[in-house]
Chain A
């Protein structure tokens, strides 16, 4: 626990007889950018609000900077927060909004003014101080909310779906800005999102949640390449699931073919699901012929940079979706009705219990 800045220990949250958080334990290092990712209603906001003290957990502990804060009211904790709705005070101008938390701390007037100017500079709106929130665009309002939250230099920054009210272009742009700002300030940050792309692009580590439980904690690469559960595999990115029979250590049967797979998979024989991402299906193989499988092309969908194909494997009902580069499609003359020899690399096959 010594090196972690925020630790959550066996946190539990019950609403009536609905369990919103189930035995959550998590460690976050200082300066880290962590995303809580999961489907709607999985408890992300609940966990964030518990960290902020805006909602009393039913049980469990929270430590921040070595201090136990489990039951402290929000005023006595050290965090800044940005909500999806921004929650900017409409009757105060931008400068007063940013200075809202500073004014209370017996900071001198000139100091406050200097800090506000510095923050306005930081968020790239140096001339917006006199404007009112309703005169700003959504993205600008979001930046002001961010400035207000970091004005008092909190040790922890909490963001609850800060970008989801914005349109797609602004979202991508602000994504980089927030990440850049966070890196520069080095403030430990937790962001809640249900947008996997956002989480993959911004987070140092992602916490994938489902039904009030943590499914996996890992870097974006780990989450994508080594999903710990079928839920994570299907929630992050696109994933094929094919029914299969496990017939021994590192061997599975799909349809009529027996394929090699990685050994770190469920024990015992019987029905399993083999998963592979569309981009991991290969049309050319180099040497190893053991994981070749033949499939008929049912249809092609042109998606610009690549072509998504729907394939049919003999003896398997589920279609296999595979992405080929436009060059491959042209060079190999892939079209509907063709039968292809495909390589499903053993290293890319994931096994999940049925």
Chain B
């Protein structure tokens, strides 16, 4: 038996095969991928965690910082504040999103196309913009101030409303997907059994989108509890965890306490992440069954009542974004309502001026290009290169981490890791490179999952076929895999670009005077009281994103029309 399993020379041969040219390239690539993810993610987080256990002089002090945190009632109060605000936001967003998604996917409501476009609006602006808009609508000199009946917009009300606005598109997208994937045959059976529409909704629709609902709830909760823009602009004296980190680090230079708050902010995010992963796995199993696509027939009463319900949603979205645009054009609110482009003369204000905008464009461009290529390479290694089991699992696990790490936490951990004098990568501190690195790491997971899904849909035997035809795997990757994945690649590039342009939370700790960013400029101008220019910069970012989305749309059509004609080929 022994000689059977290990014939003479077997081990040597096997090792030679494993280390031969054909195998060493992928292994090398995987090791590089692991090293990159370690540097961009794992090591910084590790230094953050260790910082929370040290005093100002770097001495290990155990849980002393956490005890100090618990002893401070104003800090502790932020925990309940954060939970309250995030829960309320989740409730509001998910119920409104469910209604909207239902109208978009399950009705023939007039104006569906327009609503679909409108709903995505908030995604194209930084989360600061709706908050600024709230100030103009409901602030001390706001046009609709009386609607609040004496309550102040500065505080939980403002945070919840602005945050709901900003999280809304994410929930709608998830729920639309869930609703689109339902099986028509279930509804036909329900109708055959003369089930009332309400009962059909409760017994068929709700159960089938259960996982979508849970997933949407957790995604919104995570976004809300980790968001920094809205509470910063409109939170007033109402402290939440995300603003506490900022205050401790930027205001008080208390890095230890900043890291303690970060660790606390990690907990709900990690929990939400774990639940979401669990749900996703369940949902995949649910969808593998072959289902009949649903064809919605017109139904007057339903379609018109949904229109009645959805009109306010559309009006609010238009109103909030429109208010921001209007405010940015008003010469001097509220005394001189003449329209002008005065607020767009950013070079006259602090915050970096138009230079910051071009920095942002550059940063977002690099993030989109480098990020898409690197994430694709890693996803390809994980999904398509045979063997190397444990290494691939490791890369995959590391790729999932960013989803659970709030931007503030990531940014702070970058300070600790890259600003360490002993770190050989210290040189990138304060450059555009660290902003790009941090942003790619921050938004890594969704891109990774998108590309892995795209790669999974490709026949698993392509690599084997090319090996038998003696074509190296990278040729097949170039000639077949990449072209087939092109739509997903463009999707990922757009996602990275839009997020890089709008992100505040991570980069707010990392920019330098040479690398000021537009999104951070919005924050700083607002902080300095230049609210109108802040709104103007936010509008510029939003218009840029909409422009890029248009470009993406055109490019996709062009490419699909030309090199991808095989997709429509099916007769």
Contacts and interface: CB of A to CB of B under 8 A. Distances in A.
A74 B17 contact: no
Given A74-B464, A132-B566, A135-B571, A60 B483 contact: no
B360 to A, nearest CB: 35
Interface stretch (B3-11, B89-97, B303-311, B447-455): B3-11
B20 A73 contact: yes
Contacts of B471: 100-101, 104
A281 interface: no
Interface stretch (A83-91, A161-169, A301-309, A313-321): A83-91
A133 B462 CA distance: 14
B480 A71 contact: no
Contacts of B480: 89-92
A91 B487 CA distance: 13
Nearest to A156: B468
Interface residues of A, number: 46
B245 to A, nearest CB: 46
Given A59-B7, A85-B461, A89-B480, A71 B14 contact: yes
Contacts of A188: none
A149 B566 contact: no
B463 to A, nearest CB: 9
Contacts, number: 107
A61 B6 CA distance: 11
A46 interface: no
A84 to B, nearest CB: 9
B570 A134 contact: yes
A52 B464 contact: yes
Contacts of B4: 10, 12, 23, 59-60
A12 B5 contact: yes
Interface string A90-104: 111100000011001
B13 A70 contact: yes
Interface string B465-479: 111111110010001
Given A71-B17, A74-B467, A91 B462 contact: no
Contacts of B466: 100
Interface residues of B, number: 38
A4 interface: no
A83 B472 contact: no
A75 B470 contact: yes
A135 B569 contact: yes
B459 interface: yes
Nearest to A103: B471
Given A91-B483, A100-B469, A101-B471, A59 B6 contact: yes
A58 B5 contact: yes
Contacts of B569: 131-132, 134-135
A148 interface: yes
Given A104-B475, A135-B569, A152 B465 contact: no
B464 A91 contact: no
A103 to B, nearest CB: 8
B568 to A, nearest CB: 9
A91 B17 contact: no
Interface in A62-118: 70-75, 77, 79-81, 83, 85-87, 89-93, 100-101, 104-105
Nearest to B486: A91
B465 to A, nearest CB: 5
Nearest to B386: A54
A149 B468 contact: yes
B7 A60 contact: yes
Contact of A75 (B5, B467, B484, B571): B467
A20 B386 CA distance: 19
Nearest to A96: B479
B16 interface: yes
B420 interface: no
B359 interface: no
A81 B479 contact: no
Contacts of A245: none
A132 B89 CA distance: 49
B564 interface: yes
A169 B377 CA distance: 43
B22 interface: yes
B275 to A, nearest CB: 31
Given A60-B7, A81-B465, A92-B480, A135 B570 contact: yes
B469 A101 contact: yes
Contact of A54 (B10, B17, B464, B470): B464
Nearest to B571: A135
Nearest to A83: B461
Interface string A34-65: 00000000000000000011101011110000
A112 to B, nearest CB: 13
B7 A61 contact: yes
A83 B464 contact: yes
A135 B173 CA distance: 32
Contacts of A105: 470
A163 to B, nearest CB: 16
Nearest to A145: B465
8 contacts: A14-B5, A52-B464, A56-B14, A75-B22, A80-B468, A90-B566, A134-B569, A149-B468
Question: Would you list the 6 A-B pairs with minimal beta carbon distance, nearest first?
Answer: A101-B469, A74-B467, A87-B461, A132-B566, A71-B13, A73-B22
Interface of B: 4-7, 10, 13-14, 16-17, 20, 22-23, 386, 459, 461-462, 464-472, 475, 479-480, 483-484, 563-567, 569-571
Interface of A: 10, 12, 14, 23, 52-54, 56, 58-61, 70-75, 77, 79-81, 83, 85-87, 89-93, 100-101, 104-105, 131-135, 148-149, 151-152, 154, 158
